[in-house]
A and B are shown apart, each in its own frame.
Chain A
């Protein structure tokens, strides 16, 4: 038993080391909010909760409008890294929520431009895009 436990610890340790994000390497996505949003930074778990529909209000009490993307590199890496799901899992997650009535799936947009546009037009919106597409109309959140 003790040996099994030790083995398991070792495996977990190895996985942890290998899966750990390698420092501040340039990410494949950026989380963006409306320019007027006072929030400048956010914890990764908060972001996750928001995008899984578990946190629906900004600190000032206004509602959060979440924008997902249908596909793309940014979408993939965001879902993997922040939500810790595969895109299929995420879609299943929201289907289940829809079926059981626990939540309504967020809006899904075609590409980064649509996201930027939607975020720029909506004060309570949040979304993610590839970092190279960030422009002045939106504000990128610093992830902690």
Chain B
């Protein structure tokens, strides 16, 4: 509706429609009142007067007739005179009625003629009556005037009947007019009631329809659109079809424009949600008092919890060794207290639902709104289990021999130093065995490197089986092994160990159907007896071992 493009105009339209209806109704009421007034005036000026005057005329005539009758019956001259005296009055009365009727042009002329005829008839009658009756009253014999009397009686009766008819007619006319007026009033009232009610119903319908079409439905569209906007919807076909020149349509257009602007200038919630849902790192948001408020999918997968299980729990349940500090209520209101928990890439541990520990890199930061008000903390955790394993492997590779799993030379040296320091501190002895496999080079060359490796692995196992828990077996490289014998009370302990080793090597290593026999050459040196430091001790043990080799191997000897 182009005409009604502002809300003010829409409201005015409704008001005007109602107003026009009521003006029309008032017009009808005025018109019907006017009609009634005209009728009432007519009744007052004509019908009422006619009814009164014709009745007066009839009464006058009857009085006159009675006077004449008295004069005739009882011979009263006086009555005859009285009757005659009424004659003038009656004539003037008839005349006044004629005049009255003449003044109303609406009356048909034949009625007036009838009245004039009556007047003439009366004049004729009275002319004779006024002479005859006094004469008879004086004692004249009525037998002589029978014919005249007959005529008079006939005229008298006719006039009487006519007057009676007139009187009755005008009385009826009056009462009919009043009744008609009453009916008209009643009819008008009924009509006006129906009219007003119909008008009211029509008005209600029109105003309702107009309000609904121009106000309520567009507003409902806008309301729906705003709600849908809140839920992330970004296109509103209902708003698109609105008339942009309309106030409400303008609002709709403004919402569409706003939506488009928002889409082009800001990241949508769905977009953020998608990122959070699909990121591999765990994301947890807690309130200021460390109760979990939301988590992403990765967190749930990592920890094995359902979402409902986690929401509302304290962060302690999943984050190991998390110190909340003093659990004072006011502490939660203090940003400084909270800021103690902020961290970046700290190595922490998550505890899963089934109790496993998962190493993580944890960053904790603020959750703040636009007004920089702190609402809680955001925890982003990266699962570093794999990295930890890799680190362990690297460590293994750096400190231990790859083939046998025994400590390598570096570890060995470190341990030897520790052992010597401890022995020095505590004042007891330590032993060092240097061990070389006889004919290892031949085995390697004839049976292959893999056979040599199998031999080395088996030898390492045997060696580990022949020493105490506190002793260290290490591979120094090639077929060279070393054993640190900690806290020796006397050198014979070392002899026992060496004997066990020699007997262990009497068994063959079976590899790919070959029985590989090997024997060790063992050189033994003691601290502090043979040397005061690691280098010297190693060297002396090595010397001892060469002595065994020179003697054909498969044996042991002490440096001193």
Q: A92-B73, A95-B72, A95-B73 are in contact. Are A100 and B153 (CB under 8 A)?
A: yes
Complexed CA–CA distance, A92 and B69 (Å): 11
Could you give, for residues 139-157 of chain B, a 1 whenever the CB lies within 8 Å of some chain A CB and a 0 otherwise?
Answer: 0001100100110111011
Q: Cβ of A104 and Cβ of B146 under 8 Å apart?
A: yes
Complexed CA–CA distance, A103 and B69 (Å): 15
Q: Is A105 an interface residue (CB 8 A)?
A: yes
Q: How far apart are B362's CB and chain A's nearest CB, in angstroms?
A: 127
Q: Is A101 an interface residue (CB 8 A)?
A: yes
Chain B residues in 8 Å Cβ range of A102: 153
Chain A residues in 8 Å Cβ range of B73: 92, 95-96, 99
Q: How far apart are B163's CB and chain A's nearest CB, in angstroms?
A: 16
Among A92, A99, A100, the one with the most B-chain Cβ atoms within 10 Å of its Cβ is A99
Interface SS of chain B: helix, strand, loop or mixed? helix
Q: Cβ of A101 and Cβ of B142 under 8 Å apart?
A: no
Q: A92-B73, A95-B72, A95-B73 are in contact. Are A100 and B157 (CB under 8 A)?
A: yes
Contacts of A95-135 to chain B: CB distance below 8 A: 95-96, 98-102, 104-105
Chain A residues in 8 Å Cβ range of B157: 100-101
Contact of B154 among A98, A101, A105 (CB under 8 A): A101
Q: Cβ of A98 and Cβ of B146 under 8 Å apart?
A: yes
Complexed CA–CA distance, A104 and B142 (Å): 11
Q: Cβ of A99 and Cβ of B150 under 8 Å apart?
A: no
Q: Cβ of A98 and Cβ of B142 under 8 Å apart?
A: yes
Could you give, for residues 62-97 of chain B, a 1 whenever the CB lies within 8 Å of some chain A CB and a 0 otherwise?
Answer: 000000110011000000000000000000000000
Q: Cβ of A104 and Cβ of B150 under 8 Å apart?
A: yes
Complexed CA–CA distance, A99 and B143 (Å): 12
Complexed CA–CA distance, A96 and B73 (Å): 7
Complexed CA–CA distance, A104 and B152 (Å): 13
Chain B residues in 8 Å Cβ range of A98: 72, 142, 146, 149-150, 153
Complexed CA–CA distance, A100 and B142 (Å): 13
Complexed CA–CA distance, A102 and B149 (Å): 11
Q: How far apart are A84's CB and chain B's nearest CB, in angstroms?
A: 20
Chain A residues in 8 Å Cβ range of B154: 101
Q: A98-B153, A99-B153, A100-B153 are in contact. Are A105 and B72 (CB under 8 A)?
A: no
Chain B residues in 8 Å Cβ range of A104: 146, 150
Chain A residues in 8 Å Cβ range of B152: 101
Complexed CA–CA distance, A98 and B142 (Å): 9
Q: Quick one: closest B residue to A92, CB to CB?
A: B73
Q: How far apart are B158's CB and chain A's nearest CB, in angstroms?
A: 10
Q: Quick one: closest B residue to A101, CB to CB?
A: B153
Q: How far apart are B157's CB and chain A's nearest CB, in angstroms?
A: 6
Chain B residues in 8 Å Cβ range of A101: 149-150, 152-154, 156-157
Q: Quick one: closest B residue to A102, CB to CB?
A: B153
Q: How far apart are A71's CB and chain B's nearest CB, in angstroms?
A: 16
Could you give, for residues 487-521 of chain B, a 1 whenever the CB lies within 8 Å of some chain A CB and a 0 otherwise?
Answer: 00000000000000000000000000000000000
Q: How far apart are A105's CB and chain B's nearest CB, in angstroms?
A: 7
Could you give, for residues 75-100 of chain A, a 1 whenever the CB lies within 8 Å of some chain B CB and a 0 otherwise?
Answer: 00000000000000000100110111
Complexed CA–CA distance, A143 and B143 (Å): 31
Complexed CA–CA distance, A112 and B149 (Å): 29
Chain A residues in 8 Å Cβ range of B149: 98-99, 101
Q: How far apart are A109's CB and chain B's nearest CB, in angstroms?
A: 12
When A and B form their complex, which 10 residue pairs have the shortest distance between CB atoms, in order from nearest? A101-B153, A99-B72, A95-B73, A101-B154, A98-B149, A99-B69, A100-B153, A101-B150, A104-B146, A101-B157
Residues on A facing B (Cβ under 8 Å):
92, 95-96, 98-102, 104-105
Residues on B facing A (Cβ under 8 Å):
68-69, 72-73, 142-143, 146, 149-150, 152-154, 156-157
- Besides the known contacts A98-B142, A99-B72, A105-B142, 7 further A-B residue pairs in the complex with CB atoms under 8 A apart: A98-B72, A98-B146, A99-B149, A99-B153, A101-B150, A101-B152, A105-B143
6 pairs of residues in contact across A and B, judged by CB atoms under 8 Å? A95-B142, A98-B153, A100-B69, A101-B149, A101-B152, A105-B142
